[in-house]
Structure 1
């Protein structure tokens, strides 16, 4: 049994130092958390004045806070006498193992990071990428969500997007509509050209500058092909294209201009 003197000595030699270590460790942990929160908040506020996406700002702020918390935890454990060198080595080994296991996810993460920084497209843009075309709904860290013209939702891994071509149809305010209309060789091509020009000039959504282009593009096997290239606002592209197709066909019919089409000749074998 310990006598009173031994109990006092034990308390001073063992308990007091451990209590002090625990107190210091807790102080480091609590203050470290507050400092990490403040620093991550300052970084988020500074980045909010840039052109970076909010998703990327929140992510960077979270990463900074997580890294600072790791430093705080290691410092607190060091005050408790824990061998932090071994802990750091274990964390490093675990990080390598997790990285190898999540290689594809990390690739998508890195690609998402680059997409959010360089911003080749934004929400609402109509794009064609990774074999899919549609309107961008949201850009995440690991994947991008878009919906197609028939309102199907498509989720594409960011790695697939970043490794393929990206065609952004909404990045420019204007677009050129490229169309080809063929007329028969027996028709008056000057009349056909005048009809096309009139249809285009009557369409209010066609821009005057740049001026639309109408020219004989090819003397094909069975038709004279006109190249028709009007310019429109990006949002009017499909509506104007459909309207011009219909109006030119109706105008050709009214003026007896023939649009050639393939014919099938049936050859009967003699018995």
Structure 2
């Protein structure tokens, strides 16, 4: 539409120029606002359906985020179309912006890719106690970018997902049972058979100890100052740490009562004279 100089200098001319574009702008804003509301509503319904299907919280969060991003991309393109921007051009612009953003955020994209792998392969889930990227903690949340762990002293550790995925992951909550691995070192003069019998009594006397697999009590090594006995009872995972602390204390008390000496570290000191031999 062409306007003369007189039209551009008159109020009516400006009104004829601005009103059509103002209406388009209002329409674009309305499309964006309403579209965002509809997208949020659809994602909410989608999340609830996943919850009813008892899908893991981590997967639900990830799929909900992806769905919202896709829906909002359509909303933005529709709003730009209302302004007169061709949708093909808008898609090209968005694609170019995504490419530029991707090049500048390669590290973050790597974390996102690792987050997708963590979410779908699920080496752990929310509530599991794990060791990941050298850190210990309970999994609180896994997002597209990072994993949040809560330590036993209630501190939060945020780890980028690419560091988690590229490291060895130990999931202490994956199995229902755990084995306690203790090495009890007694003196060379102590009665090995009695020490093994006392350890068996301690295992049998704790109701948390599993009978299957049976506790392993084996002489593992004899050094110059000790006899090392492996003590390996099994426990339900949820009972492990309570049993661990109780049993360590019981071993100390029972061995003292039975007169079984623990090994003591021995040090040998060699003394050399400082004088020189003299020839006769």
Q: Answer whether TM exceeds 0.5 for this pair.
A: yes
Gaps of 5+ in 1: 2-13
Partner of 1:4: none
**1:52 counterpart SS class:** coil
Counterpart selection for 1:142 from 139, 142, 145: 145
Give the direction of change, closer, same or farther, for the CA distance of 1:266–1:144 in structure 2 (3 Å limit): same
**1:185 counterpart SS class:** coil
**Mapped partners of 2:134, 2:245: distance in 1:** 24
* Structure 2 counterparts to residues 174-185 of structure 1, below 5 A: 174-185=177-188
**Mapped partners of 1:40, 1:172: distance in 2:** 34
- Does 2:231 correspond to 1:199? no
1:168 to partner: Cα distance: 1.0
Partner of 1:246: 249
1:23 to partner: Cα distance: 10
Stretch deviating more after TM superposition (79-88 or 101-110): 79-88
* Structure 2 counterparts to residues 15-54 of structure 1, below 5 A: 36=39, 39-54=42-57
Q: Do 1:53 and 1:117's aligned partners in 2 also have CA atoms closer than 8 Å? A: no
Gaps of 5+ in 2: 5-16, 275-280
1:131 to partner: Cα distance: 0.5
**2:52 counterpart SS class:** coil
**1:211 counterpart SS class:** coil
**1:48 counterpart SS class:** helix
Q: Do 1:56 and 1:113's aligned partners in 2 also have CA atoms closer than 8 Å? A: no
Counterpart selection for 2:93 from 90, 93, 107: 90
Give the direction of change, closer, same or farther, for the CA distance of 1:188–1:90 in structure 2 (3 Å limit): same
Give the direction of change, closer, same or farther, for the CA distance of 1:85–1:253 in structure 2 (3 Å limit): same
Q: Do 2:181 and 2:232's aligned partners in 1 also have CA atoms closer than 8 Å? A: yes
Counterpart selection for 2:135 from 123, 132, 136: 132
Q: Do 2:114 and 2:161's aligned partners in 1 also have CA atoms closer than 8 Å? A: yes
Q: Do 2:62 and 2:119's aligned partners in 1 also have CA atoms closer than 8 Å? A: no
Counterpart selection for 1:257 from 260, 274, 277: 260
- Normalization by structure 2: what TM-score? 0.75
**Mapped partners of 2:121, 2:103: distance in 1:** 27
Give the direction of change, closer, same or farther, for the CA distance of 1:170–1:199 in structure 2 (3 Å limit): same
- Does 2:237 correspond to 1:224? no
- Deviations 1:44-85 (Å, cap 9, x if unpaired)? 343333443445434533433442343344356446643333
**Mapped partners of 1:79, 1:53: distance in 2:** 39
Give the direction of change, closer, same or farther, for the CA distance of 1:201–1:96 in structure 2 (3 Å limit): same
1:175 to partner: Cα distance: 0.6
**1:135 counterpart SS class:** strand
